[in-house]
A and B are shown apart, each in its own frame.
Chain A
Amino acid sequence: MIVAKRKPIEEIKEMLKGYKKVLNVGCGTCVSVCLVGGEKEVNILNAELEIARKMEDNPIEMGAISVERQCDREFLAALDDKVGEYEAVMSMACGVGIQFLAERFPDKPVLPAVNTAGLSVNQGIGWYEERCRSCGDCVLGWTAGICPVTMCAKGLYNGPCGGTNKGSCEINPDQPCAWFMIYERLLRQGRLDLIMRVHPANDWQNIGPRTLVQPGYSKPDNAGQKK
């Protein structure tokens, strides 16, 4: 799932400095499940901001609404007749949701309340670990299910660098070396020969904003225009 981290309150206050009435929009999917940007967190942040601004003798009125997914325009439609009352909109969704919101309301400043922190697994309550960088060219089949792009600090495709140190990565002794783990697991599965396979580097320079159309579907003619 996509995970995010709330921005420091000081940074949020700085962004909202000039505004007196702001709508805070939560998202009911990934950021709700990772306990950062759902209905509950929207209310908590609003209360914090209102109290802080009241203490500074510069009150702010925070509106609250949560939609099922900010990355689907049909859900954003619920905001259309609300946004007008506010000077600015803040989003607690991931970067995708924030941008989609900004796109829908081009006349309003749309501000992020969270930092999107990756595609992660949930290891325990409130504890997430990144596993995928969505590179677009999955090699997990050759690397024993361990992603060298995400798990190797350098994103190396063909074995470890000189910084591998008894199973750890040179950036931090608590960070395992991805290629060491790949070696161990391939060995255990009797597939060690795969490690000799040379993977050409990902074509990073050609990665612009990607568009995906699933097979059997097509972009409608008026795509992107519709509100």
Chain B
Amino acid sequence: MNQEKASQTAKSGSVLIVGGGIGGMQAGLDLANSGFMVHMVQKDSSIGGTMVMLDKTFPTGDCSMCMISPKMVEIGRHMNVNIHTLATVTSVEGVPGDFTVKILQKARYVDPNLCTGCGTCEEKCPKKVTSEYEQGLTVRKAIYSLFPQALPNTRVIDRDNCIYFQKGKCRACEKFCTAKAIKFDDTDKEFEIRVGAIILSPGLDRYNPRVRQELGFERWPNVVTSLQFERILSASGPYRGEVKRPGDGKHPKKVAWIQCVGSRDSHNANPWCSSVCCMYATKQAIIAKEHDGRIDPTIFYMEMRAFGKDFDKYVDRAKKEFGVTYRRAMVSAVREEPGTGNLLLRFAQENGVLKDELFDLVVLSIGFQPHTDAEAFAKIFGIEPNKYRFAKTTHFNPVDTSRPGVYVTGIYQGPKDIPETVMQGSAVAARAMALLGEARGTEIKVKELPPERDVKEEEPRIGLFVCHCGINIAQTVDVKKVAEVGASLPGVAHSESMLYACAQDSQDKIKKLVKEKNLNRVVVASCTPRTHEPLFQDTIRDAGLNKYLFELADIREQCSWCHMGQREVATKKAMDIVRMNVAKARLLQPVETGSVGVTPAALIIGGGIAGMVTALSLADQGYHAHVVEKENELGGLIKNLYRTLDGSNVQPYLKDTVSRVTAHPNIIIHLGTEVQKTDGFVGNFKTTLSNGEGFDHGAIVIATGGVEYQPTEYHFGENERVITQRELEKRLAMAGPRSRERYVMIQCVGSREEPHNYCSRICCQDAVKNAITIKEKAPDAQVIILYRDIRTYGLREDYYKKARDLGVLFMLYKEDKKPVVEKKGYGLSVKAFDYLLGKEIAMEADYVVLSTGLRPHPTSEKVGVMYKLTRNTDGYFLEAHVKLRPVDFPSEGIFIAGLAHAPKNLDETISQAQAAAGRAGVLLSHERLGVSGIISKHNRDLCMSCLTCFRLCPFGSPFIDTDGKVSHNEVKCVGCGICASVCPMKAFQVNNFRDDQIVAMIDALTESAS
């Protein structure tokens, strides 16, 4: 559709995303939801990437699959996302806005148009193959899906292992496929697409620990990789979540994690830090302990890199609540104890004495690396890799590759964890939106719908369709009988069973019957509403019924699958389930979904780098941006920053950014003023500033920033030779260090201890950066860094090594034995305990440099109260979800960027600001905003304004109205149902989950039981 219009514009309104992991999915959804056509290329048979293999995620312990699968379902069903699996890009030609991309798609041997995903073929396939997804811990079949929730859910034949392809005989899958979807003559295809921008999110490869022979991987069966351990922990994994050793199936008690396997090692492995292993090991230790309380976990580590938001608190909890032992030691050998399968670990203790300790199971915390074909990959896209084969990016343009119009997100840009990948996913989406703004909406598909039939006054005429799901349901449940019994239920006007209710022919039949038999409610008894409800809702909408007149009865996941082999009870239960859903369906009412207009402008609170980058991106996307800065000039904290860790010059960048912001016609700057009041809701805010100015806007970005801690420790302020890193940086920018000068730096001043028990993330790099500058300018100067853990995560590790190579001395101190600074003559003396020597040593210093941490800006409290935004115990704003919604707030239309969220580096602030612009851009791209039908309805006649809902609603939708009583703003409501469950007067009822409907379901069940 709209092809003619598209060809008229110079730029294409489509975007190519290479890699369907969580970063690519985020970018894809943001783009598709804001008027762009998305082509997603994935070389595996399913999207999902690495995150789908994980059991839980840190630091919240959320189930990984439960978080990612709704996103997979959303992207899989999106009309404007075209997923090409088993596909790779072979060439890219053209210019930004107009690329021609060649794609090679391998044969699947299963026709996705006919396949219903029932899985019978997989069950019948006789060939067993080692499962890649389960990390070799179990087997899969030669026709298979990568994992149960795979998307698309069409199986794929693994040609290299298929008996028919290899030996010419078998075809069992074909024989049993009632949908006739097996296609042995399928061939590879090559095709071309035109796109305006390209997003690279190919994800990661993992280090193969076989290289480190001393650790015994694949030699001793009870040595596993961390990813194998994820599968061991997973309830859907090979051991169903029971913690067992692969060698003998015994329950291990003493479990050891060995960190940095394949990371921070330039000899046998990768020199970089993989950024996430410290935290995932901590998480695995906690989860293992939760699964089996007898487990005694020990983590062997070099440095505990808990640098993210609330990570240090997580490690503290692991120690205190779960009894996890952390040992600062590198394990030099793992040997098996003959006969027991236990493992003897040899390591040097802190005092240098060697020790041997026996463990039952060893987990190797393996690191990340680019894919083996990364070099060829970079060549195909014409981008420059860095020296480690990651995509080369710069500090100031963290998601731009060397080729304009080609952007990068996730681990291909450098090691990082899930939220940062998601953040960059939105950031690359924003970059593409800014590039292709004028082509927005030119290549998308829009669906035409028939008018809705008014059924309000009609008696219920329910159509009931009971699905066989191939044999998935039918072999356990007597579906014919369920359909027969269903026909006799009150209100049911038509009932039948179907081989596959979700297949195209069945959908057409349902539509036909709705019209022929004048049905006004539809119940399908089949699989889970999670994946299939939206599909059937669309079907009845196509037939002219309101989509909320649909009800799904889950008789597969909730019945046939869990009662396999118990035909009689399963059939009875299926009938009960159907009876309940029919009872509810009788009470279904059409739900009208309203919409509200959107003001295409954003308010950005804070004119630091986060605010300015957000404003520029939104302005480039074509929206107005109001930047409100309470100081009299833009710039914020980076006014005091001169160099980044990689040596980039900050001040010219700041100057350039300020001038671009000042000159941009879409940006309105409000200096020396603050927000006084904001009224309204998502899409329709109205703000008044303290200087009296006012404006309308549709989105809010909180970029209030942070401040540097002003120390009181170590005689700061009393002695002019005690300075902060920031002051040192300024001095080094103005005049170099003198020959033979002696610097002692002290880390974690005002960080990582009560009352500020969090890592400020930037200080290790500040110290390393300044130390390198000193040693480069004056090689005979002496620099000693007293540290607790050096946290130069990711590719930043290079600079830690460089500093060591330049002769910077690093010396460990612990919280209970802090260094002592004393005045000595003209200079200073620093005393600290040396753990290798086992005694205190004294160092003389010309300067003591304090690495001071960050604090949230004092205004964040006021801003938090004004917009009802919660903050963590350290005062940083809490995002909607720490993993998957890193720049959103629970309240719709409000986003966050920069230090207001948590301490972070400049490049991270820039990508988060772009991400906030991406998320806000998605919102502002809509002329009108649809209000969901599943919302809570408020009955003011019943309400007694007890305020329970008002206080509990996380979205701020109940409010105190002008008459002093509670009213409800439905635009803000997400239908979570909290208000309905707490309301003492039952004044709230959630559409489609009304009390009468739920009671009807319970009654239907209890009536059948009695």
Chain A interface residues (CB < 8 Å from chain B): 28-29, 32-33, 35, 38-41, 122, 124-125
A35: chain B residues at CB < 8 Å are 946, 948, 984
- Complex formed: what's the CA distance from A122 to B945 in Å? 13
- Complex formed: what's the CA distance from A40 to B948 in Å? 14
B235: chain A residues at CB < 8 Å are none
- Complex formed: what's the CA distance from A29 to B985 in Å? 11
- How distant is A39 from chain B, measured CB to nearest CB, in Å? 7
Q: 8 Å CB contacts to A: which residues of B929-957? A: 944, 946-948, 951-952
* A39 contacts B948, C-beta separation under 8 Å: no
Q: Which residue of A lies closest to B946 (CB)?
A: A33
The 9 closest A-B pairs by CB, nearest first: A33-B946, A38-B984, A40-B984, A125-B951, A32-B984, A35-B984, A125-B948, A33-B944, A125-B952
Q: 8 Å CB contacts to A: which residues of B257-285? A: none
* A122 contacts B947, C-beta separation under 8 Å: yes
- How distant is A27 from chain B, measured CB to nearest CB, in Å? 11
- Complex formed: what's the CA distance from A107 to B982 in Å? 37
- Complex formed: what's the CA distance from A28 to B943 in Å? 11
* A124 contacts B951, C-beta separation under 8 Å: yes
Q: 8 Å CB contacts to A: which residues of B762-781? A: none
Question: Contact flags (1/0) for B976-1008 with A, using CB distance below 8 Å?
Answer: 000000111110000000000000000000000
- Complex formed: what's the CA distance from A35 to B947 in Å? 11
- How distant is A13 from chain B, measured CB to nearest CB, in Å? 24
Q: Place the interface of chain B in its size category.
A: 10 to 19
B952: chain A residues at CB < 8 Å are 125
- Complex formed: what's the CA distance from A189 to B592 in Å? 56
Q: Which residue of B lies closest to A32 (CB)?
A: B984
B984: chain A residues at CB < 8 Å are 32-33, 35, 38-41
Q: Which residue of A lies closest to B952 (CB)?
A: A125
* B951 contacts A38, C-beta separation under 8 Å: no
Q: Which of A39, A122, A125 contacts B985 (CB 8 A)?
A: A39
* A28 contacts B947, C-beta separation under 8 Å: no
Secondary structure dominating the interface of B: loop
A41: chain B residues at CB < 8 Å are 984
* B946 contacts A28, C-beta separation under 8 Å: no
The residue in B946, B948, B982 that gathers the most chain A C-beta atoms within 10 A of its C-beta is B946
- How distant is A93 from chain B, measured CB to nearest CB, in Å? 14
B951: chain A residues at CB < 8 Å are 124-125
- Complex formed: what's the CA distance from A184 to B8 in Å? 77
Q: Which residue of B lies closest to A28 (CB)?
A: B944
- Complex formed: what's the CA distance from A157 to B983 in Å? 41
A39: chain B residues at CB < 8 Å are 984-986
- Complex formed: what's the CA distance from A29 to B944 in Å? 8
A33: chain B residues at CB < 8 Å are 944, 946, 984
- Complex formed: what's the CA distance from A35 to B984 in Å? 6
Q: Which residue of A lies closest to B948 (CB)?
A: A125
Q: Known contacts A32-B984, A40-B984; can you find 5 more A-B pairs with CB under 8 A?
A: A32-B946, A32-B985, A33-B944, A38-B984, A125-B982
List, sorted by A's number, 17 A–B pairs whose CB atoms are closer than 8 Å. A28-B944, A28-B985, A29-B944, A32-B946, A32-B984, A35-B948, A35-B984, A38-B984, A38-B985, A39-B984, A40-B984, A40-B985, A41-B984, A122-B947, A125-B948, A125-B951, A125-B982
- How distant is B685 from chain A, measured CB to nearest CB, in Å? 28
B983: chain A residues at CB < 8 Å are 40
B947: chain A residues at CB < 8 Å are 122
- Complex formed: what's the CA distance from A124 to B947 in Å? 9
- Complex formed: what's the CA distance from A40 to B944 in Å? 13
- How distant is B1009 from chain A, measured CB to nearest CB, in Å? 14
- Complex formed: what's the CA distance from A145 to B318 in Å? 47
- Complex formed: what's the CA distance from A90 to B963 in Å? 36
The residue in A28, A39, A125 that gathers the most chain B C-beta atoms within 10 A of its C-beta is A125
A40: chain B residues at CB < 8 Å are 983-986
- Complex formed: what's the CA distance from A32 to B944 in Å? 9
- How distant is B984 from chain A, measured CB to nearest CB, in Å? 5
- How distant is B642 from chain A, measured CB to nearest CB, in Å? 48
Q: Which residue of B lies closest to A122 (CB)?
A: B947
A124: chain B residues at CB < 8 Å are 951
- Complex formed: what's the CA distance from A35 to B946 in Å? 9
B982: chain A residues at CB < 8 Å are 125
B948: chain A residues at CB < 8 Å are 35, 125
- How distant is B317 from chain A, measured CB to nearest CB, in Å? 26
A125: chain B residues at CB < 8 Å are 948, 951-952, 982
B986: chain A residues at CB < 8 Å are 39-40
A122: chain B residues at CB < 8 Å are 947
- How distant is B760 from chain A, measured CB to nearest CB, in Å? 33
Q: Which residue of B lies closest to A26 (CB)?
A: B984
B944: chain A residues at CB < 8 Å are 28-29, 32-33
- How distant is A94 from chain B, measured CB to nearest CB, in Å? 15
- Complex formed: what's the CA distance from A41 to B948 in Å? 15
A32: chain B residues at CB < 8 Å are 944, 946, 984-985
- How distant is A3 from chain B, measured CB to nearest CB, in Å? 12
- How distant is A121 from chain B, measured CB to nearest CB, in Å? 12
Q: Which residue of B lies closest to A66 (CB)?
A: B985
- How distant is B870 from chain A, measured CB to nearest CB, in Å? 15
Q: Which residue of B lies closest to A36 (CB)?
A: B984
B985: chain A residues at CB < 8 Å are 28, 32, 38-40
- Complex formed: what's the CA distance from A125 to B946 in Å? 9
- How distant is B995 from chain A, measured CB to nearest CB, in Å? 10
- Complex formed: what's the CA distance from A41 to B946 in Å? 15
- How distant is A59 from chain B, measured CB to nearest CB, in Å? 14
Q: Which residue of A lies closest to B947 (CB)?
A: A122
- Complex formed: what's the CA distance from A42 to B475 in Å? 46
A38: chain B residues at CB < 8 Å are 984-985
- Complex formed: what's the CA distance from A39 to B986 in Å? 9
- How distant is B813 from chain A, measured CB to nearest CB, in Å? 37
- Complex formed: what's the CA distance from A122 to B985 in Å? 18
- Complex formed: what's the CA distance from A124 to B944 in Å? 16
- Complex formed: what's the CA distance from A29 to B982 in Å? 17
Q: Which residue of A lies closest to B986 (CB)?
A: A40
- Complex formed: what's the CA distance from A73 to B449 in Å? 58
- How distant is B794 from chain A, measured CB to nearest CB, in Å? 42
- Complex formed: what's the CA distance from A38 to B942 in Å? 12
- Complex formed: what's the CA distance from A39 to B995 in Å? 14
The residue in B947, B983, B984, B985 that gathers the most chain A C-beta atoms within 10 A of its C-beta is B984
A28: chain B residues at CB < 8 Å are 944, 985
- How distant is A137 from chain B, measured CB to nearest CB, in Å? 31
- How distant is A20 from chain B, measured CB to nearest CB, in Å? 21
- Complex formed: what's the CA distance from A176 to B721 in Å? 47
Q: 8 Å CB contacts to A: which residues of B231-275? A: none
- Complex formed: what's the CA distance from A41 to B983 in Å? 11
